[in-house]
Structure 1
Amino acid sequence: MRTRRLHTPGGRPVDIVVDQEIGSGAEGVVYPVADSPHVCAKIYSDFDRSAASGPRLDALTALEPVTWGGDCPEHLHVAWPRTTLRDGKGQLRGVVVPRIEGTPLLRLLDAGARIELLDEPTWRTTFAIAARLGRLFDMLHGAGIVIGDVSPANVLVDRHGHVTLLDCDGVQFTDPATGTRFAGEKFTPEYGAPEALDVKGLTREHDLFGLGVVICQLMMEGEHPFGGVSTAVPPSTSVEENIKRRNNRLTHPDRLVPMADSISAEILPPKVRDLIQQCFEDGYDDPLLRPSGRAWSHVLEQASFELMGCRYNPRHAYHRSAPECIWCARIAGGFGDHFPPPADWVPPPGARPLPLVPVETAGAVMTRPPVTYPAPPWPYPRMPFVPVPAAPPAPAPRSSRKQALRIVVWAVAVVLAICLLIAIFGH
């Protein structure tokens, strides 16, 4: 094991295991830290640039999110930098960040990968992931943080669907100690708000546009709402150009060339569609109208309780506003099963095999072996209507019966009294 020793600003030595790379990117390489399984070190590739970032990173490690926990003891909401790392000359070389287990959210947009990476690879889990992502954005915005580089590649998801934000060293914030504003360093154009594509400087509303895009991708099985070829002449083919021209597959399906296996926005709960309208239409010209992370989280959590279970596949779930199972409908249409049942699932007696066709995901063809479970007839047969017999009338309360008896007795007494008077005075 080959190590390199760096030091924290306080002089504490940190040994970096440089021959066991965890990951790499445009900014640097992530390595393990010797004898510290819960943290790792991000070492920057551009030493000159990292040296100039010293004040930013020192301020970043003193912000509120450094103390945040997570949804459970094994989870953290953010992989926030804990401290900076410097060499023997005092030059900044990297940061220490928590070591998080999980997979990039980007991979979960692939139906085949999702089956292997989640304990419960269902649409219901997708709602939970999206709701947690909205809550995380709301927490960061409440702490005065602008994420900037919104992308499913920068979000880690564990097997239970808990989410963690990565690459937090590039966020935009203001140092509360000095009042210095450190601008966001970059953003991913495919998730950038229309105003951010033309001007510099990122805002909370920029994050909310990207959040809407990521949530739509989660809900729509990886389909980017602005992805595709436009119907305009000449057509636009890039996501960035479609964002500029408001070519959205969910709110303006007529502006993009339809795809045979595209999923209709009608599968989404009505309140989710309302938020999409606010984000991409109302909020296109007025960014302040875009729904907050809290709004997304609230609506998605509520909608998850309104999902129905499918009688043909234990992993199929669909919103109660749909007349039947939307995933069975796609199977019947020849588009394969994005949520196949567990391998050990035993189909009901009398089930017949349903061959599955290849599923197109992320530009690659994934073929699954046929599984045996009830082939859903289409349309589904309806159960015959059986009228419910009317319930017998409830017995009158005891007090009512006594009152009626008193009235009868008094009526009889009055009649007898009248008859007696007639008999006496009639003679």
Structure 2
Amino acid sequence: MVSRGGREWQLTERIGAGSEGLVYAVGHDGSLVAKLVPDPADPVAYRRRVERLVRQRREPRTVRLLAGTPQRVAWPLAAVRTLRDDVEGYLMPDLRRDFLPFTALLTEAGRPDALPGATWATALAAAEALARLLADLHTEGYVVGDLNPDNLWVDAHGRVGMADVDSWQFTDGHDVFPGRMRTPGYTAPERMAPNAGTSGAPAGPGEETRAPAAPPVPPDASTDAFALAVLVHQLLMGGLHPFAGHPADGDYLSLDDNVLHDRCRLLDRTSVVLPRTAPPADLLPRALDALLRAAFSAAGSRPPAAVWARELAAARAPGRLARCTVRATHVHTVERPWCPWCDQARRGMDSYPEPA
């Protein structure tokens, strides 16, 4: 693999794959990885996009985003191509040095093994960190466009990192580089293609397929805010997607179909049927519950990421959390007089079990 300047790097093992590209470890020191995109829709446009991002790494707005430890964004460091088959891509920091895949905290299956000490307080911290990172990106003029669990990372303290910068929407001088991707279940309804609700996309976040976006509305801060609200709901509801559930009025088609038809327990408890083991609907602080309702009710009134960051910080402030007297891993808001996770456990599922 070689850069534009002629410097060579050696690819070692393949460590990841998505709908658009492949990720390889580079060298043996564990500091860099390479994302290669074998078949971009427009190779010239993709190369130009990566080169502009590499150049922007030295701009003040990007320097501000990359400040701090650990670094929150896997920013492109150099445009590269393979020597054998001329596949385009870029080098970026290896977030595995500081983080775990976001699903380690998001899913009930991942938490006990990957993050055995995680509690609802960890989920709150991660939600705040994600909202703060997104607010910072918007302040500096970037739009993620395809915010979803597959491009997010998290650690045991709830700190959050983000990858796949090459799919963001951004400007460079007078040039606009539009957002190019969307993920079923994390796409705002106004960005969906007309047949999005009938695509039959599977329900699990690990089973979703990312696709080039062909929506009537380009991504912006408001569409990012929709995806943020979905992720906050999942973090605080033990992994439950806000639009999950079998429609009460017909057959299940996809998460996107539920989004388009406002089938959401938070908005209308009679619109979907959920397993009895789902976390209680009333476990959230009132302020966060109100933000979620606003985010899913109408596009024009979605709370921005900065508002989410402020309210999430307030929800985890000293004196705002209570620890269950029965199980130490059960943490909940003081606004609820008894433990919601014990309620869930009595129905056959414990989102925060004690370590074995």
Aligned to 2:218: 201
- When structure 1 is superposed on structure 2, of 59-68 and 192-201 the one drifting more is 59-68
CA 1:251–1:212 in 2, change beyond 3 Å: closer, same or farther?
A: same
Q: Distance in 1 between matches of 2:29 and 2:16?
A: 17
Report the alpha carbon displacement of residue 89 of structure 1 after superposing the two structures with TM.
Answer: 11
CA 1:251–1:48 in 2, change beyond 3 Å: closer, same or farther?
A: closer
Aligned to 1:14: 8
Report the alpha carbon displacement of residue 47 of structure 1 after superposing the two structures with TM.
Answer: 6.4
Aligned to 2:259: 243
Among 272, 284, 297, which residue is 2:288 paired with?
A: 272
Q: Which has the higher contact order (CA 8 A, sep 6+)?
A: 2
User: Where does 1:392-407 land on structure 2 (aligned, <5 Å)?
Assistant: none
Deviations 1:357-414 (A, max 9, x none): xxxxxxxxxxxxxxxxxxxxxxxxxxxxxxxxxxxxxxxxxxxxxxxxxxxxxxxxxx
Report the alpha carbon displacement of residue 208 of structure 1 after superposing the two structures with TM.
Answer: 0.5
Aligned to 1:317: 331
Aligned to 1:255: 271
Report the alpha carbon displacement of residue 342 of structure 1 after superposing the two structures with TM.
Answer: 4.0
User: Where does 1:90-129 land on structure 2 (aligned, <5 Å)?
Assistant: 93-101=88-96, 102-118=99-115, 120-129=117-126
- Letter in structure 2 aligned against 1:6: V
Report the alpha carbon displacement of residue 70 of structure 1 after superposing the two structures with TM.
Answer: 5.5
- Give RMSD over aligned pairs: 2.2
Aligned to 2:341: 327
Deviations 1:331-380 (A, max 9, x none): 3x33233222345xxxxxxxxxxxxxxxxxxxxxxxxxxxxxxxxxxxxx
Instruction: Give the SS at the match of 1:295.
Output: helix
Q: Distance in 1 between matches of 2:85 and 2:354?
A: 56
Aligned to 2:354: 341
Report the alpha carbon displacement of residue 37 of structure 1 after superposing the two structures with TM.
Answer: 2.8
Q: Is the 8 A contact 1:265 1:273 kept in 2?
A: no
Instruction: Give the SS at the match of 1:324.
Output: coil
Among 200, 211, 214, which residue is 2:228 paired with?
A: 211
Report the alpha carbon displacement of residue 152 of structure 1 after superposing the two structures with TM.
Answer: 1.1
- When structure 1 is superposed on structure 2, of 188-197 and 88-97 the one drifting more is 88-97
Instruction: Give the SS at the match of 1:116.
Output: helix
Aligned to 1:77: 72
Report the alpha carbon displacement of residue 127 of structure 1 after superposing the two structures with TM.
Answer: 0.2
Aligned to 2:142: 145
Report the alpha carbon displacement of residue 158 of structure 1 after superposing the two structures with TM.
Answer: 2.1
User: Where does 1:157-196 land on structure 2 (aligned, <5 Å)?
Assistant: 157-176=154-173, 179-196=174-191
- When structure 1 is superposed on structure 2, of 59-68 and 250-259 the one drifting more is 59-68
Q: Distance in 1 between matches of 2:252 and 2:84?
A: 52
Aligned to 2:53: 60
Aligned to 2:132: 135
Q: Is the 8 A contact 1:144 1:173 kept in 2?
A: yes
Report the alpha carbon displacement of residue 86 of structure 1 after superposing the two structures with TM.
Answer: 3.6
1:288 equivalent in alignment to 2:300 = yes
CA 1:14–1:37 in 2, change beyond 3 Å: closer, same or farther?
A: farther
Could you state the TM-score of these two structures normalised by the residue count of structure 1?
0.71
Q: Distance in 1 between matches of 2:41 and 2:264?
A: 41
- Letter in structure 1 aligned against 2:229: G
CA 1:270–1:17 in 2, change beyond 3 Å: closer, same or farther?
A: same
Could you state the TM-score of these two structures normalised by the residue count of structure 2?
0.85
Q: Distance in 2 between matches of 1:186 and 1:268?
A: 31
Q: Distance in 1 between matches of 2:337 and 2:25?
A: 51
Q: Is the 8 A contact 2:38 2:87 kept in 1?
A: no
User: Where does 1:297-308 land on structure 2 (aligned, <5 Å)?
Assistant: 297-305=309-317, 306-308=320-322
Any gaps of 5 or more consecutive residues in structure 1? 344-427
Q: Distance in 1 between matches of 2:341 and 2:152?
A: 27
Q: Distance in 2 between matches of 1:91 and 1:342?
A: 48
CA 1:163–1:279 in 2, change beyond 3 Å: closer, same or farther?
A: same
Any gaps of 5 or more consecutive residues in structure 2? 194-215
CA 1:92–1:329 in 2, change beyond 3 Å: closer, same or farther?
A: closer
Instruction: Give the SS at the match of 1:32.
Output: strand
1:43 equivalent in alignment to 2:36 = yes
Instruction: Give the SS at the match of 1:254.
Output: coil
CA 1:36–1:246 in 2, change beyond 3 Å: closer, same or farther?
A: same
Q: Distance in 2 between matches of 1:40 and 1:66?
A: 20
Report the alpha carbon displacement of residue 324 of structure 1 after superposing the two structures with TM.
Answer: 1.0
Deviations 1:293-347 (A, max 9, x none): 111111111111311111122111111111111222223x33233222345xxxx
Q: Number of residues paired by the alignment?
A: 326
Bigger CA radius of gyration: 1
Instruction: Give the SS at the match of 2:34.
Output: strand
Among 222, 235, 242, which residue is 1:225 paired with?
A: 242
- Letter in structure 2 aligned against 1:62: R
Query: What is the identity percentage for the equivalent residue pairs of Structure 1 and Structure 2?
Result: 31
Instruction: Give the SS at the match of 2:35.
Output: strand
Q: Distance in 1 between matches of 2:168 and 2:110?
A: 29
